[in-house]
Structure 1
């Protein structure tokens, strides 16, 4: 693939010259920009970037290296040397023509930083903040000092403007000191080290590195616009940045989520959330520009806040990644390569500067990170891995160089040297990091933690993002609200409360009845909030730094046919519905018509909550019984029960029954014994993940539904959680055990579809 990509790209570039010539001929002798030529430029950059990016990936390198190298090939260094007339026709120096592609590239920077922010795991950085901060700060300070010193010592002849040497030195120091979290994370993930201790520390250090880097870049840009260090300007930039960051990560975080939620729930057109996020990014970029720092900081922080949204994060990231990867990245990095003229390295002084810059960047970054790791108590092999991992620049330095070139503190010679340094150090990082990581053995505590995290990845409940709580203000609604609060606290799931009663089913058809219905819905939402806050307080001691402690509860008004409302709610991202309505059973047995209709209309997972008997006001006094049979269905129900138990502190007992579908097949006693031991072992693993205790009992009863009720009464359990699955047919049925329990149980039950 890589052998074919290069000549194919050159052939394509040569062919596009003919297209450009035709486009100019069509425009006569006008000196204005050509739309046809603009389209050809974009197509060439995208295709060449894609081909060479694919070649780099196959060689074990980041794809952006192929995009930068593709731009260098299309620029004066290769294409311009081989066919100068064709190259100048394809990429003319006409300012109005260049501005068209540059506009796409500048928009690409913002989208790239938005995506980088969304990929930033702030909780990881906060959890490892001490060790990561030490590695990051020393890893920034050492190369920054060396780069700044280099800028102060290089001859004036190598500077674009000797009067602005100080600002140029600051840009050089910044370019040498910041790692690219995107490159670092991609290599660590590729090596399957993302969840290892050292892998997490490398990524956490890179996150801190990148975050501090964009703040430094933003402030340096503010100084560059004035051409010198002005204390008033510096104070405005620093204070403005601090206030912006403080507001963003406190009030701003909640505002961003509410905008995403409101847009998703209210708009009916396609991709409204994507438009809202672009508006958020643009607004925050404008704010950072207004306070005198670069727009990239606003886009990066916007990405972090969007990434912390508890809903739609996977869908949003997928949509943005597609647009950014397919269009903006190859155009931006391709144009960066186009502006790089490697022929300047023919000058001995420039070549010496480039070699010196690469050595200082590599040794300074490696030495700083290594020293920080050793001071933090890490071993030599771990410190070496950290030093190798932090030595990737890639996109970050390219953006720094582009900003420096745009404000005039770097000329094309220094710009080309920095880009060359970024390419060399980034391409050297993957093989050196692979070598260093391969030498690190796995510790026992890592093995235990990785097993728990592997469970989370395949966990039944991890696939759900948003709860729809359907209520009618009955006792079942109250219990469903309490359980929803538990999930909001433990699983960080937003809850939307929907009153299923129509206006004519309320107290009256007048306006006061409508207000009463709204007030009752808000009462339920407050019950959810209260339940979640109590659960969050109980877990405060075990809470990880950086975990979101905001409980998201909202009220949705029924504004049409109930079936349509439920169907639309599922389309808006509600993937699990807690149904707390009465009656649950019909007059002639089975499920009530309303309940059956709701389950049918909601295209997601449903949990039916039926309150029976007397329930304690204190959640800690709940006693939960979970029937298990070793089937996947029963284990998913056990996980559901463990979430409630973790949030409430309730007692949990799991009772093993043979699955009724297997009752007809005879088996030896030893087989039955082994089956329940295997089921209990699986239960222990799930309980360990949620850090709850569970009592395990094996039942010998032949009729599961009767034995379940007998255990519930004898053990004074007040809540039964049962995993169910729909049976085929016109009428709603979850099988004989569940259907019988719903009709005969004298205590509360929860049926969770699996």
Structure 2
């Protein structure tokens, strides 16, 4: 039955492959005609790209359906189209489709080389340095032993094999260094995908496996870059080695200090200033190319520049999910199947027909597997992990995947490998990668979940499902009133806790626009100075929050991006553009909030309508908020609805950052509580609401006071409790009503007109 189900699921792939088999001979006929005149053919180039993409996609789909990484299908697709299969069965057809030399081959090789850079860029973007830092002690032990032992094994193998095996015996030391490097690395992409598939990404052991692979990958690419620089010079002398190591160290130091800020600013400016399609994507490609050129100039391989560029781009706070998805789509759809397909084309499995070569391949696979597994196992035991956990770590670190294939391709291009040794290493990468998923699944299935781990997982799941987890970038609209200062404080708290970039927009009266038109766009105006003052206030609040959290006794500055934006056109257009630039949370700190004839002021109606994200209205009223944040008292009215619970999340984040006190007020309307309970079929709906509040409080590590009141007028109960309890700030969840003017319903509208305390209205729908 299982076999029939598997066959049924594979039927679309098999039919598509049959259609491809009919297509390829037709393509080859066209290719033969197009190359009769000699030289490179654009038509044949397009056929080659299409064939590689289609075959890679079909076999990749097949691999995914049987529980293997898709890149294995792309490599096997290249093997199928190369001398190993198609070249044996139909040699003329294979030669016509993929000429081995000449300008035609150079065209596809150019795409492959560009593909290497994009793959390394993507690998860098997927590198979570934060995870590696959190588990640095244990991950370092696993990673370093997992690198050192297989490196020593690979180096020893290179020194002991006979000269007949080496492509250039006179460069034995460089080849030995390369083999040691090739055997010591892991593919973080494959490791992470299997751990994620097994739902172990948040488990302790899963995070340790991925963190170790990240360190493995990062250290590996630095070593690879230095090794290849030595290979290109053909010798290992002290001057060459010093130049490579010092150049790499200087590049890494610059990249993660000044370079980090430059990359962030380049992405932000491109995103905010350009109006053409996909400008940030172009900026990222330029950053990748620039850093790859720098590493090439200092004498190490371009792969290091592309990988580091990916790390910096991935950490950029301005990188939206849409841009990230576009870059991944381009790499996955085009460059991956072409590069891995061409790798398979260069792999001649016929060399394994030689007994000596076959024994070398088997020995390499055994050494690579045992060395990597043993190194990770030893590191895990040194870190105090159990045997079952150490086995899981060793199994997880044994996949070479795309990383190994990239290294082998570069080694072939710089002359460290010949076709025979290249084919052996690719075969080793395929075998170890395909063996890793089933062994890791088996090892992980034997690990029970600990109580502390279960609690942490619940907390992380709550964070992922949180209302606040959806926001990436804040726009702060101010007019230099007390409400602006309160909004700036709240924005600073959010920026510190969520690491969200903030853009300050000063919406001073239109007279300031006239002043700017008279002085010119490059002149500093009063509006610019006001926005800069608010931006400094946000930064100061964020710095204070970071220092409170650190508790080191030393004052440090946060790495929060706070910028200003000119209102150089009508307000609605500016806010709409802000939404398009990735701002999804708008803090409105302007006065007045209420209109002359009741309800909300017309300017707030315009702002909330123009901005396409979530709006938060902040109003400073009556008694001022204490300057010491911890002395602030927050009141959160709730009813058990999703709207009020989301607002509670907002309020508890403020309490977490500031350390202030917080109370929730459940208002039970006397008649409605009996007729239409909000959360249950009994009159104790507040108990279920308080359970949700307790979850939020535990997640934020905040103590909470819970109050229940019964009354026929919720708005009056809120105002009465705020005065009675001496609260400074009311946080209320609201949803916008369909009306020409802004309205959130009876309770919020009444609060706007009658409140004598500061309040925050949080749109939650």
Task: Count how many residue pairs are aligned between Structure 1 and Structure 2.
Answer: 750
Is the 2:641–2:678 Cα contact (8 Å) retained in structure 1?
A: no
Residue 683 in 1 paired to residue 677 in 2?
no
Distance 1:68 1:107, change over 3 A: same
The Cα of 1:630 is off from its aligned counterpart by: 1.0
Structure 1: how far apart are the matches of 2:375 and 2:465? Answer: 39
Residue 583 in 1 paired to residue 592 in 2?
yes
The Cα of 1:578 is off from its aligned counterpart by: 0.5
Structure 2: how far apart are the matches of 1:349 and 1:172? Answer: 18
Structure 2: how far apart are the matches of 1:304 and 1:566? Answer: 31
Residue 456 in 1 paired to residue 463 in 2?
yes
- Counterparts of 1:607-686 in structure 2, within 5 Å, are 607-615=616-624, 616-658=626-668, 662=672, 665=675, 674-686=684-696
Structure 1: how far apart are the matches of 2:196 and 2:678? Answer: 47
Partner residue, 1:602: 611
- Counterparts of 1:192-207 in structure 2, within 5 Å, are 192-207=199-214
- Structure 2 unaligned spans of 5+: 1-8
Is the 2:629–2:660 Cα contact (8 Å) retained in structure 1?
A: yes
Is the 1:306–1:313 Cα contact (8 Å) retained in structure 2?
A: no
Is the 2:575–2:610 Cα contact (8 Å) retained in structure 1?
A: yes
Question: What whole-Å deviation, never above 9, does each CA across 1:262-309 have from its counterpart, x for those lacking one?
Answer: 111101111110000000111111111111111111111111111111
Structure 1: how far apart are the matches of 2:683 and 2:161? Answer: 79
Question: What whole-Å deviation, never above 9, does each CA across 1:438-480 have from its counterpart, x for those lacking one?
Answer: 0000000111011111111110011000111001111111111
Please identify runs of 4+ aligned residues in structure 1 that moved more than 4 A: 1-11, 505-510, 659-664, 666-673
Among candidates 297, 318, 337, match of residue 304 of structure 2: 297
- Counterparts of 1:285-684 in structure 2, within 5 Å, are 285-504=292-511, 511=519, 515-541=525-551, 549-615=558-624, 616-658=626-668, 662=672, 665=675, 674-684=684-694
The Cα of 1:15 is off from its aligned counterpart by: 3.8
Partner residue, 1:280: 287
Is the 2:484–2:589 Cα contact (8 Å) retained in structure 1?
A: yes
Is the 1:502–1:558 Cα contact (8 Å) retained in structure 2?
A: no
Structure 2: how far apart are the matches of 1:349 and 1:53? Answer: 32
Residue 98 in 1 paired to residue 117 in 2?
no
Distance 1:628 1:548, change over 3 A: farther
Please, what TM-score do these two structures have when normalized by structure 1?
0.96
**What RMSD, in angstroms, separates the aligned Cα atoms of the two structures?**
2.1
The Cα of 1:665 is off from its aligned counterpart by: 2.4
Residue 61 in 1 paired to residue 32 in 2?
no
Among candidates 12, 16, 26, match of residue 24 of structure 2: 16
Is the 2:543–2:557 Cα contact (8 Å) retained in structure 1?
A: no
Partner residue, 2:37: 29
Partner residue, 2:726: 716
Secondary structure at the residue paired with 1:449?
A: helix
The Cα of 1:751 is off from its aligned counterpart by: 0.3
The Cα of 1:500 is off from its aligned counterpart by: 1.3
Distance 1:152 1:528, change over 3 A: same
The Cα of 1:614 is off from its aligned counterpart by: 2.6
Structure 2: how far apart are the matches of 1:659 and 1:690? Answer: 30
The Cα of 1:617 is off from its aligned counterpart by: 2.1
Among candidates 180, 184, 191, match of residue 191 of structure 2: 184
Question: What whole-Å deviation, never above 9, does each CA across 1:677-732 have from its counterpart, x for those lacking one?
Answer: 11111111111112222111111232111111111111111110000001122221
Secondary structure at the residue paired with 1:240?
A: helix
Question: What whole-Å deviation, never above 9, does each CA across 1:475-526 have from its counterpart, x for those lacking one?
Answer: 1111111111010001111110001124415796753996111101111111
Structure 1: how far apart are the matches of 2:206 and 2:679? Answer: 47
Structure 2: how far apart are the matches of 1:728 and 1:736? Answer: 14
The Cα of 1:660 is off from its aligned counterpart by: 9.7
Residue 263 in 1 paired to residue 273 in 2?
no
Secondary structure at the residue paired with 2:675?
A: coil
Partner residue, 2:4: none
Secondary structure at the residue paired with 2:668?
A: coil
- Structure 1 unaligned spans of 5+: none
The Cα of 1:5 is off from its aligned counterpart by: 4.5
Question: What whole-Å deviation, never above 9, does each CA across 1:210-269 have from its counterpart, x for those lacking one?
Answer: 111101110000000111102111111111111111111122112111111111110111
Among candidates 132, 137, 155, match of residue 139 of structure 2: 132
Is the 2:617–2:762 Cα contact (8 Å) retained in structure 1?
A: yes
Structure 2: how far apart are the matches of 1:658 and 1:339? Answer: 74
Secondary structure at the residue paired with 1:699?
A: strand
Secondary structure at the residue paired with 1:179?
A: coil
Structure 1: how far apart are the matches of 2:461 and 2:660? Answer: 26
Deviates more, 1:638-647 or 1:355-364: 638-647
Structure 2: how far apart are the matches of 1:524 and 1:661? Answer: 47
Is the 2:483–2:589 Cα contact (8 Å) retained in structure 1?
A: yes
Is the 1:357–1:421 Cα contact (8 Å) retained in structure 2?
A: yes
Is the 2:313–2:319 Cα contact (8 Å) retained in structure 1?
A: no
Question: What whole-Å deviation, never above 9, does each CA across 1:338-364 have from its counterpart, x for those lacking one?
Answer: 000000011111001000001001111
Structure 1: how far apart are the matches of 2:60 and 2:120? Answer: 19
